């Protein structure tokens, strides 16, 4: 049966990297149909909303979306579409697999870890107010329900993917109640998964360990703010945001996305690297149960990187976006 996928091409380089990824996925043997929808500034112009109902209904109906980057105005204008999507659809788990690619210069070519980030609460609840002029309060919300749900997600993911260890990262030595609750929930859930090692680290130490000895980590579980920061730190260990995939997953749907931005400096030049969105597409195919197609795409992509002849500008080559896509399609077995 064909899968219908909501495709949000996004802004800037979004349409270029999306069309490269669509071309590769269509060549993989997976039966997919696309429902193209708009978000952000383009949707505001066309439909009067940055997150039109039509888009949300499409994701809820199809349960899966592939999303390019969306421009977010800084300090003014509309609020982040990415945060809006996560909140509206309750996409509570943010997944960031971090693995180096052959022939891409990076600090840790052997690294292979996964960051699981709670996506709905913590300081990102947006509950801020001015107490008196000059004093602002921002509320950090941590609940037993959300902490248990994300811990279970991390262990279920580890079991499914054959990963051996989950490390909870926190600051429960200082935030004894909030991070303490997150840690308690993690420990409670871990008892249901005796085959998976469970340990924890304080976030500052975890950052130092990541830079010095990242291979000690397998799956990392973090609250929203620490997860946001640490997942980008981890991307930097293997070559940057232009390469790693991302997914936001909930009961009502899943949005697979490029974690880099819309790169206005190179938009429209056919030089963007579609690898991040492509790797998100591989995650999406696995999520859809299309394991064979996922592996075919991944093998072809790795082959192109291993051969090192067709590489985009950001990783030291001269290939254009569509040339990279063609090379991956031609490398498919
Ligand atoms: P950015 O990620 O768009 O660009 C940073 C640098 O990385 C630029 O030099 C760019 O050319 C390069 N780059 C990014 N992706 C690349 C790719 N696939 N291939 C080759 N080079 C690539 O970050 P920036 O400039 O901070 O943000 C631009 C816009 O994107 C902003 O409006 C921001 O809000 C938005 N943004 C959206 C995200 C999303 O939708 N998930 C995530 C991050 C930023």
- Concerning whether 171 is annotated as a catalytic residue, the answer is yes
Ligand 1 near 71 CB (within 6 A) = yes
> 112: which 2 tokens?
């292979």
246 shares a domain with 233: no
Ligand 1 within 6 A of CB of 198: no
* 306 CA distance to ligand 1 middle (Å): 25
pLDDT score of 75: 55
Among 193, 210, 237, the domain boundary falls at: 237
Question: Are residues 129 and 79 part of one domain?
Answer: no
How many other C-beta atoms can be found within 10 angstroms of the C-beta atom of residue 221? 32
Active-site annotation holder among 226, 228, 305, 314:
228
- Position 219 confidence tier, pLDDT thresholds 50, 70, 90: very high
Q: Is residue 186 part of a domain?
A: yes
* One domain for residues 85 and 147: no
* Domain edge (last residue) among 237, 265, 286: 237
C-alpha distances in angstroms, 132 versus 139, 178, 298? Answer: 16, 25, 55
Pocket residue to mutate for ligand 1, from 260, 265, 316, most atoms within 8 A of Cβ = 260
**Do both 101 and 246 map to the same domain?**
yes
> Could you identify the atom of ligand 1 that is nearest to the CA of residue 275?
18
| pLDDT tens digits along 82-118 | 888 888 899 999 999 999 999 998 999 999 999 999 9
Ligand 1 pocket member 263 (CB < 6 A): yes
What is the Cα Rg of the chain in Å? 20
The 10s digit of each residue's pLDDT in 228-269 is 999 999 999 998 888 999 999 999 899 999 889 999 999 999
For the chain, the domain total comes to 2
* Whole-number Å distance between alpha carbons of 91 and 141: 17
Q: Which of 299, 255, 206 is nearest to 95 (CA)?
A: 255
Point out the domain boundary residue: 237, 253, 270: 237
Mean predicted confidence (pLDDT) in 193-219: 98
Query: Over the chain, what is the mean pLDDT?
Result: 94
Residue 122: active-site member = no
112 within domain boundaries: no
CATH code for the domain in which residue 102 is found: 3.40.718.10
Q: Answer whether residue 210 is part of any domain.
A: yes
The predicted structure's pLDDT at residue 241: 86
Using the predicted structure, report yes or no on whether residue 281 has a pLDDT greater than 90: yes
Whether residue 70 sits in one domain with residue 152: no
pLDDT (tens digit per residue) in 64-82: 999 999 987 665 566 678 8
Question: pLDDT at position 46, please?
Answer: 85
Residue 144 lies in domain: 118-237
Contact between 208 and 216 under an 8 Å Cβ cutoff? The reply is no
Q: Is residue 261 within 6 Å of ligand 1 at its C-beta?
A: yes
Whether residue 180 sits in one domain with residue 87: no
Q: 40 CB less than 6 Å from ligand 1?
A: no
What is the atom index within ligand 1 of the atom nearest the CA of 81?
40
The finding on whether 72 has its CB within 6 A of some atom of ligand 1 is: yes
With a 6 A CB cut-off, is 242 part of the ligand 1 pocket?
Answer: yes
199 and 176, same domain (yes or no): yes
Q: Which residue has the tokens 């397998």?
A: 218
H helix intervals, the chain: 14-26, 41-47, 53-62, 81-88, 144-161, 178-190, 203-212, 224-237, 275-287, 291-307, 321-330
Measured between alpha carbons, how far is 68 from 7 in angstroms, rounded to an integer?
8
**Nearest-angstrom CA–CA distance, 85 and 89:** 6
DSSP character string of 18-75: HHHHHHHHHTTT--EEEEE---THHHHHHHS-SS-HHHHHHHHHHSEEEE------SS
- Residue 113 in domain: no
Check if 314 is active-site.
no
DSSP label at 124? G
Say if 34 falls within a structural domain. yes
Verify whether residue 153 is a known catalytic residue: no
Which strands make up the sheet holding 245-249, listed edge to edge? Answer: 32-36, 3-8, 64-67, 254-258, 245-249, 93-99, 112-118, 219-222, 165-170, 197-202
Q: Indicate whether 329 belongs to any domain.
A: yes
Residue 182: CATH number of its domain: 3.40.50.2300
Q: Is residue 111 domain-resident?
A: no
Q: Give tens-digit pLDDT for 14-60.
A: 999 999 999 999 999 999 999 999 998 888 888 888 889 999 999 99
Instruction: Specify the residue for token string 């920061």.
Output: 229
3-state secondary structure of 288: coil
Tell whether 196 and 97 lie within a shared domain: no
Query: How far apart are the C-alpha atoms of 183 and 200, rounded to whole Å?
Result: 8
Catalytic residue among 124, 153, 226, 305: 124
Same structural domain for residues 87 and 158? Answer: no
- Percent of the chain scored above 70 by pLDDT? 98
Q: Which of 38, 96, 262 to mutate to test the pocket of ligand 1 (most atoms within 8 A of CB)?
A: 262
- Say yes or no: 44 and 77 in one domain: yes
Q: 3-class SS at 291? A: helix
| Residue 221 shares a structural domain with residue 248 | no
User: Is residue 199 situated within a structural domain?
Assistant: yes
> How sure is the predictor about 180, in pLDDT bands with cuts at 50, 70 and 90?
very high
Residues 124 and 229 in one domain: yes
């Amino acid at each position: 049966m064909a899968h219908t996928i909501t495709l949000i091409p996004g802004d800037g380089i979004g349409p270029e990297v999306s069309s490269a990824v669509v071309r590769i996925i269509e060549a993989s043997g997976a039966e997919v149909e696309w429902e193209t929808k708009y978000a952000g500034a383009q949707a505001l112009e066309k439909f009067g909303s940055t997150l039109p109902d039509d888009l949300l209904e499409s994701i809820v109906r199809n349960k899966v979306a592939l999303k390019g980057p969306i421009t977010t105005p800084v300090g003014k204008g509309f609020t982040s579409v990415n945060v809006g999507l996560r909140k509206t659809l309750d996409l509570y788990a943010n997944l960031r697999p971090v693995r180096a690619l052959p022939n891409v210069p990076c600090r840790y070519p052997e690294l292979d870890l996964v960051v699981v980030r709670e996506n709905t609460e913590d300081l990102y609840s947006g509950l801020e107010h001015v107490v008196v002029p000059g004093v602002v309060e921002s509320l950090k919300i941590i609940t037993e329900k959300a902490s248990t749900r994300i811990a279970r997600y991390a262990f279920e993911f580890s079991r499914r993917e054959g990963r051996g260890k989950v490390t909870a990262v926190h600051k429960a030595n200082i935030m004894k109640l909030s991070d303490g609750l997150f840690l308690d929930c993690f420990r409670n859930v871990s008892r249901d998964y005796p085959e998976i090692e469970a340990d924890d680290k304080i976030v500052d130490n975890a950052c130092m360990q990541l830079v010095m000895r990242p291979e000690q980590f397998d799956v990392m579980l973090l609250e929203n703010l620490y997860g946001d920061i640490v997942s980008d730190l981890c991307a930097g260990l293997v070559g940057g945001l232009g390469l790693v995939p991302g997914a936001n997953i909930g009961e009502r749907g899943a949005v697979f996305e490029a974690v880099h931005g819309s790169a206005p400096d190179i938009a429209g030049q056919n030089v963007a690297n579609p690898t991040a969105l492509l790797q998100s597409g591989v995650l999406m195919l696995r999520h859809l149960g299309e394991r064979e197609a996922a592996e075919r795409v991944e093998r072809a992509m790795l082959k192109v990187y291993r051969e090192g002849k067709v590489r985009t500008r950001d990783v030291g080559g001269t290939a254009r976006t569509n040339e990279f896509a063609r090379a991956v399609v031609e490398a498919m077995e």
